[in-house]
A and B are shown apart, each in its own frame.
Chain A
Amino acid sequence: MFGDLPILSIITFLPVAGIVILLFIDSKKNSLINTVATATGFVTFILSVPLFFAYQENTGGYQFVEKYKWLESFGISFHVGMDGISLLLVLLTTMLSLIAIISSYTAITSRYKEYMITLLLLQVGMTGVFLAMDLFLFYIFWEIILIPMYLLIGVWGGKERVYASIKFFLYTLTGSTMMLIAIIYMAYMVKAQTGTISFDFIDIFKLKIDPSIQVILFLAFALGFAIKVPLFPFHTWLPDAHTEAPTAGSVILAGVLLKMGTYGFLRFNIPLFPDATVQLAPYMMWLSIIGIIYGALMAMIQPDVKKLVAYSSVSHLGFVMLGIFALNEEGLTGGILQMINHGISTGMLFLLVGMIYERTHTRMIEDYGGIAKAVPVFATFMMIASLSSIGLPGMNGFIGEILIMTGAFLSRPVYGILAASGVILAAVYMLWMYQRVMFGPMKHAKNSNLKDLNFREVAILIPLVALIMWIGVYPQALTVKYQKSVKDLMQLKSSRISSTADSIKN
């Protein structure tokens, strides 16, 4: 479909073009800034959609691959490619970035131009992370994200933004430092085994790594990824970052950034360190389960809606990790699908919280109560997002959760049983919050004059609702795209288990 067109580079770097244009625009011309930013986001999104149809799911593997020489002497190249998993994540990124841009028209009042530049820069980093096939390139994109996200929280955030942004920065930097060391170590391992240094994923993939070293490398990567996910107990940056970030920041953070962590596990930890994966999977699963229950319990008692949704992310990402490390077809399929689902549902929840915040300037549950009467359209969308988030059958969340829980159960029944208890808790915190915000008599008279959602707001929510329903009814549209990737991952696991068994026998 694309011939020789370097489509992946185009999608990754198109926002840079938008940034360049924005740099030359007078920062007072808000509507022009809007047009440029939105057009950039829109064109990128539109260009990414055909990938969904062009990707050959029967062939599987990496497609639309591009490889250019870059820092040759260091063994670093510009190497990008897309498999079924990154396909969906890139689409999620381009879609949510566009939505984030549109959702910011009225929410952001200061330094508007810089804000849009930051958002577009963020998009470059995220897209790059999901497409990079060179580990150094991956690292560069990974680190690029840190800066705009840091600024987004620190400049356009809420009251505690400085604390939150620094916490975010430190947490993430700590994690990525360990990862960097591991990456460089492996590049030199390639040199030791083949004679030339290389950061290329394919070369590193071919490495023979001693299982005990694998464990160390696994942990070095895992720290960076686990913080991003966040996996319990590395989660405490998340509630602060989410709460203080502006709406678009929260949407991107929850929708895409957290998935970089789970994507990292899928893309690097499992394929590169299969022996360590098999060995450490039970620990990962226990941490995931603790995260599911812990996140839900913490969500339940939050007085702040945004913090509640943030803690619910800890719980949901626990599900994703549980599915991935169940290392069976059900779990992996569900885990990957749930990455997308969480991006849609939680992204939508943050959008909604942001929309009501714009009107009331409070996120506290106690400042609401009975507002469904004043804002019925808002209440309806909030209900749909909440139900999707608690995994109601017929909606997207259910498909992911049932697959994950089945996978976990098949791996070991106790995992599935404990995870299923998270399903009860999700209903508790979500519906309790919903009731206290929406139902009952109007608690504060000033809320009775709240304006319901406007056309622009409804317009960005409807595609999300459509996706929630579509995935809920016909999840196969997405799952077939990455079925082959899942099979490859499992292949890897089973071959390693047998080779380990052989080595024990010998």
Chain B
Amino acid sequence: MNFSEYAWLIVFSPFIGFLINGLVGRKFSEKTIGLIGSLASTLSFVISVLIFFQYSALSQKAPIQIDLFKWIVAGGINVSIGYQIDSLSLVMVLVVTGVGSLIHFYSIGYMHGEKGFARYFAYLNLFMFSMLNLVLGNNILLMFLGWEGVGLCSYLLIGYYYETDYAPTAGKKAFIVNRIGDFGFLIGIFLIIQNFGTLNFTELSTVVAKGTSVGNDTIFWITLMLFVGATGKSAQIPLYVWLPDAMAGPTPVSALIHAATMVTSGVYMIARLSFLYVLAPETMAIVAFVGGATALFAATIGTQQNDIKKVLAYSTVSQLGFMFMAVGVGAFTAGIFHLVTHAFFKALLFLGSGSIIYALHHEQDMRNMGGLRKKLPVTFFTFLMGTLAIAGTPFFSGFFSKDEILWKVFNYSSLLFWMGALAAMLTSFYMFRLVFMTFFGEMRYHEHGGHHVHESPAVMTVPLIILAVLSVFGGFMGIPHVLDVFHVGNYFEHFLSSSVKDSLPIVFGTKEEWGTMSLSVIIAIIGFTIAYVIYLKKKYVPGDDSTIKGYKKVIYNKYYVDEMYERTVISGTIRISKTVYEYFDKLVIDGIVNGVGKSIRRIGEGIRGTQTGLVRDYMLTMIIGVSIMLVYVLVNKFMMIRL
């Protein structure tokens, strides 16, 4: 049996779940709704796994095409609803459906008792459907469908608590900022149509492989414009501002959409089009440095946040920066590898924070936490595993992937390497700061009225445990060359090589590789130690917002970037529009019209009288009207004769 023939089912299974829960879900019990949603996603995962095993057994890993039907055909556009299976899309599909399914199950517990339970699962399934179109689509337009589709679901799920003010505002912000990015993406698409005449990935890469006549400048603009789209979706400078606000959504949503899957779309897109990007070294440099700057910048903000989800949000922005750094320097494999391990440990961390928030009845401020390790043992232990992984503890998954990125970046630019290294140190610092503030020290949460803090149910802790195992051991699929004592090889790189190949030349030798690796371990230890001294030994707890002063205040307020955007772009546009409306639309255009019509309006006042009449009056009016027109025609006829 050839499972890849059923690839369409991967995409459409969640869609069916969406339809069921969206249309009739309100009539079902929570359990039914949750199971429909989760199983729809799990079915996709199972098919993906079956296809994966079949595909990885192939000796010739050519992309498998499944074209369903022609979608848009006109002139230079000719695209299908069609899917492409190759090693890259398989990796993505496994992450999306695997982590996605775990989060679906977790949500059954987390969302228990919430209003709109069916709505939640419908949106979650719709998200899966969109995301799978994004990663499996065999052309850029279908990818764009998924791209905007996930944006929509993100909008809907961020604004899930729609009776509040902040949640819908955050959702709208996310959608609009993403649309600004998509503006760039669209221009990239237009340029590709104009210059290549195809939007199909395989056809494009064939054209490029044959040697294209399209100029370097054009390819620079294509890749850059698409990257603008990526800065929106993947929350990079300057369009990262929506992601921290997106934490207004339910926590499992943050884990799925705003950590593990959707936000990594930009990295995937660049890897998917790596054959174009390698032809535009300037764009690659921009990607790398934007990634590096974002990694560092977001990490500094992460060090001063007190909301547990905000720390993780900035951490995500920062980690995405690492991925862009990797793909920017041409280490596509390393970027995708970090994408995968990050999906494990960041989903774990978010779900862990969700478990805390669930236990503390929606308390998210770490200043009101502390000492939770005894109350929430499973959450604590799994969270610790996630923290060790992201901090880069040797042999944890994050260590392999982050170290590989730093090593590759070192071969590209030492400045970028140091930016990454500093960001890595801050990562270790803010993550242990988070752990110490929440799980250690005194318990600062006040249990009120019979609500005792206790561990979450199994439907939530089991996904945590599975993700913890993946976070700890997941890195072994991509063992770096120098550590490969048993010569098993870098499985991940090998598997991906049939669809994505690194373009970065490795200029340094084994000695330097050991050097960067040791350095990244030392860095992690430094970050840990600082956090340990401040937050565990000195038991420091940040004061109220009003007591935060100096540089900390600037960082705590995220460098006031949001305020700057608000005051310039947003109010500026509104002010200009209002002025134009008042003075141009109403005064100039309507002024002319009204001036002309003023005298005739008096006649109009007369007409008003006839409007009270019966239908025959109207008919009469009409007949008179038509007669006038006929007379008019005749008059004109005579005029014409003179012409």
User: How many whole Å from A473's CB to the nearest CB in chain B?
Assistant: 7
Q: How many A-B residue pairs have CB under 8 A?
A: 193
Q: A297-B580, A372-B162, A407-B75 are in contact. Are A147 and B622 (CB under 8 A)?
A: yes
B168 contact from A235, A403, A406, A435, Cβ within 8 A = A435
Q: Does A370 contact B (CB under 8 A)?
A: yes
B129-158: contact bitstring with A at CB < 8 Å (1 yes, 0 no)?
000000000000100110111001001000
User: How many whole Å from A489's CB to the nearest CB in chain B?
Assistant: 13
Q: Flag if A162 contacts B69 (CB, 8 Å).
A: no
A465-501: contact bitstring with B at CB < 8 Å (1 yes, 0 no)?
0000000011110010000000000000000000000
Complex Cα distance, B278 from A53, in Å, reads: 49
Q: A184-B633, A372-B162 are in contact. Are A167 and B597 (CB under 8 A)?
A: yes
Q: Does B629 contact A (CB under 8 A)?
A: yes
Q: For residue B172, which residues in chain A have a CB less than 8 angstroms away from its CB?
A: 431-432, 435
Q: For residue A424, which residues in chain B have a CB less than 8 angstroms away from its CB?
A: 176, 179-180, 182-183
**CB-nearest residue of chain A to B590:** A236
Q: Flag if B186 contacts A476 (CB, 8 Å).
A: no
Q: Flag if A427 contacts B179 (CB, 8 Å).
A: yes
A84-126: contact bitstring with B at CB < 8 Å (1 yes, 0 no)?
0000000000000000000000000000011001100000000
Q: Does A440 contact B (CB under 8 A)?
A: yes
Q: Does A416 contact B (CB under 8 A)?
A: yes
Q: Flag if A300 contacts B163 (CB, 8 Å).
A: no
Q: A154-B611, A420-B186 are in contact. Are A162 and B604 (CB under 8 A)?
A: yes
Q: Flag if A236 contacts B604 (CB, 8 Å).
A: no
**CB-nearest residue of chain A to B575:** A301
Q: Flag if B590 contacts A170 (CB, 8 Å).
A: no
A187-219: contact bitstring with B at CB < 8 Å (1 yes, 0 no)?
010000000000000000000000000000000
Q: Does A387 contact B (CB under 8 A)?
A: yes
Q: Does A439 contact B (CB under 8 A)?
A: yes
Q: Flag if B601 contacts A166 (CB, 8 Å).
A: yes
Q: Flag if A439 contacts B168 (CB, 8 Å).
A: yes
User: How many whole Å from B298's CB to the nearest CB in chain A?
Assistant: 24
Q: Flag if A392 contacts B152 (CB, 8 Å).
A: yes
Q: Which of B187-195, B342-350, B480-488 contacts A (4 or more CB under 8 A)?
A: B187-195
Q: Flag if A297 contacts B577 (CB, 8 Å).
A: yes
Q: Flag if A413 contacts B159 (CB, 8 Å).
A: no
| Segment 391-434 of B: residues with Cβ below 8 Å from A | none
B66-100: contact bitstring with A at CB < 8 Å (1 yes, 0 no)?
00011111111100010000000000000000000
B179 contact from A372, A399, A417, A423, Cβ within 8 A = A423
Q: Flag if A402 contacts B152 (CB, 8 Å).
A: no
Q: A330-B75, A423-B183, A439-B159 are in contact. Are A188 and B640 (CB under 8 A)?
A: yes
Q: Flag if A298 contacts B608 (CB, 8 Å).
A: no
B163 contact from A114, A181, A328, A370, Cβ within 8 A = A370
A403-416: contact bitstring with B at CB < 8 Å (1 yes, 0 no)?
10111011001001
Q: For residue A143, which residues in chain B have a CB less than 8 angstroms away from its CB?
A: 625-626, 629
Q: Flag if A409 contacts B190 (CB, 8 Å).
A: yes
Q: Flag if B75 contacts A23 (CB, 8 Å).
A: no
Q: Flag if A170 contacts B77 (CB, 8 Å).
A: no
Q: For residue B76, which residues in chain A have a CB less than 8 angstroms away from its CB?
A: 330, 406, 410
Q: Does A334 contact B (CB under 8 A)?
A: yes
**CB-nearest residue of chain A to B81:** A473
Complex Cα distance, B145 from A406, in Å, reads: 16
Q: A23-B615, A154-B611, A330-B77 are in contact. Are A441 and B164 (CB under 8 A)?
A: yes
Q: Does B589 contact A (CB under 8 A)?
A: yes
Complex Cα distance, B183 from A113, in Å, reads: 49
Q: Does B442 contact A (CB under 8 A)?
A: no
**CB-nearest residue of chain A to B144:** A393
Q: For residue A237, which residues in chain B have a CB less than 8 angstroms away from its CB?
A: 593
Complex Cα distance, B469 from A304, in Å, reads: 55
Q: Does A275 contact B (CB under 8 A)?
A: no
Complex Cα distance, B70 from A329, in Å, reads: 17
Q: Does B618 contact A (CB under 8 A)?
A: yes
**CB-nearest residue of chain B to A233:** B589
Q: Flag if B194 contacts A301 (CB, 8 Å).
A: no
Complex Cα distance, B70 from A74, in Å, reads: 50
Among B576, B585, B601, B621, the most chain A Cβ lie within 10 Å of the Cβ of B585
Q: Flag if A440 contacts B74 (CB, 8 Å).
A: no
Complex Cα distance, B643 from A188, in Å, reads: 10
Q: Flag if B577 contacts A301 (CB, 8 Å).
A: yes
B615 contact from A117, A147, A475, Cβ within 8 A = A117
Among B75, B581, B589, B633, the most chain A Cβ lie within 10 Å of the Cβ of B75
Q: A300-B574, A424-B183 are in contact. Are A334 and B604 (CB under 8 A)?
A: no
Q: Does B217 contact A (CB under 8 A)?
A: no
| Segment 183-228 of B: residues with Cβ below 8 Å from A | 183, 186-187, 189-191, 193-194
Q: For residue A417, which residues in chain B have a CB less than 8 angstroms away from its CB?
A: 187
Q: Flag if A476 contacts B70 (CB, 8 Å).
A: yes
Q: Does B439 contact A (CB under 8 A)?
A: no
User: How many whole Å from B145's CB to the nearest CB in chain A?
Assistant: 4
Complex Cα distance, B18 from A394, in Å, reads: 15
Q: Does A70 contact B (CB under 8 A)?
A: no
Q: For residue B183, which residues in chain A have a CB less than 8 angstroms away from its CB?
A: 420-421, 423-424
Q: Does B499 contact A (CB under 8 A)?
A: no
B609-643: contact bitstring with A at CB < 8 Å (1 yes, 0 no)?
00100110010011001100100110011001101
User: How many whole Å from B589's CB to the nearest CB in chain A?
Assistant: 5
User: How many whole Å from B503's CB to the nearest CB in chain A?
Assistant: 29
Complex Cα distance, B232 from A424, in Å, reads: 13
Q: For residue A363, which residues in chain B have a CB less than 8 angstroms away from its CB?
A: none
Complex Cα distance, B581 from A402, in Å, reads: 28
Q: Flag if A413 contacts B152 (CB, 8 Å).
A: no
Q: Flag if A155 contacts B611 (CB, 8 Å).
A: yes
Q: Does A373 contact B (CB under 8 A)?
A: yes
Q: Flag if A301 contacts B581 (CB, 8 Å).
A: yes
Among A154, A297, A438, the most chain B Cβ lie within 10 Å of the Cβ of A297
Complex Cα distance, B70 from A228, in Å, reads: 35
Q: For residue B73, which residues in chain A have a CB less than 8 angstroms away from its CB?
A: 476, 479
Q: Does A171 contact B (CB under 8 A)?
A: yes
User: How many whole Å from B546's CB to the nearest CB in chain A?
Assistant: 27
Q: For residue B187, which residues in chain A have a CB less than 8 angstroms away from its CB?
A: 409, 416-417, 420
User: How many whole Å from B215's CB to the nearest CB in chain A?
Assistant: 14
Q: For residue A370, which residues in chain B have a CB less than 8 angstroms away from its CB?
A: 163
Complex Cα distance, B362 from A331, in Å, reads: 51
Q: Does A356 contact B (CB under 8 A)?
A: no
User: How many whole Å from A324's CB to the nearest CB in chain B?
Assistant: 14
Q: For residue A297, which residues in chain B have a CB less than 8 angstroms away from its CB?
A: 573, 576-577, 580-581
- Having A409-B187, A410-B76, A410-B194, one finds 14 other A-B pairs with CB under 8 Å, namely A162-B608, A166-B607, A167-B597, A170-B593, A171-B593, A184-B633, A330-B77, A399-B72, A406-B76, A409-B190, A417-B187, A428-B179, A439-B159, A479-B74
**26 intermolecular pairs with C-beta atoms under 8 Å apart:** A114-B614, A114-B618, A166-B607, A170-B593, A180-B632, A233-B589, A236-B590, A300-B577, A334-B74, A392-B148, A393-B141, A406-B75, A409-B191, A410-B76, A413-B190, A413-B194, A420-B190, A424-B176, A424-B179, A424-B182, A431-B176, A439-B168, A441-B164, A473-B81, A476-B70, A479-B74
**4 pairs of A and B residues whose beta carbons are closest in the complex:** A329-B75, A439-B168, A393-B145, A409-B190
Residues of A within 8 A of B (CB): 23, 113-114, 117-118, 140, 143-144, 146-147, 151, 154-155, 162-163, 165-167, 170-171, 180-181, 184-185, 188, 233, 235-237, 294, 297-298, 300-301, 328-330, 333-334, 370, 372-373, 387, 392-394, 398-399, 402-403, 405-407, 409-410, 413, 416-417, 420-421, 423-424, 427-428, 431-432, 435, 438-442, 473-476, 479
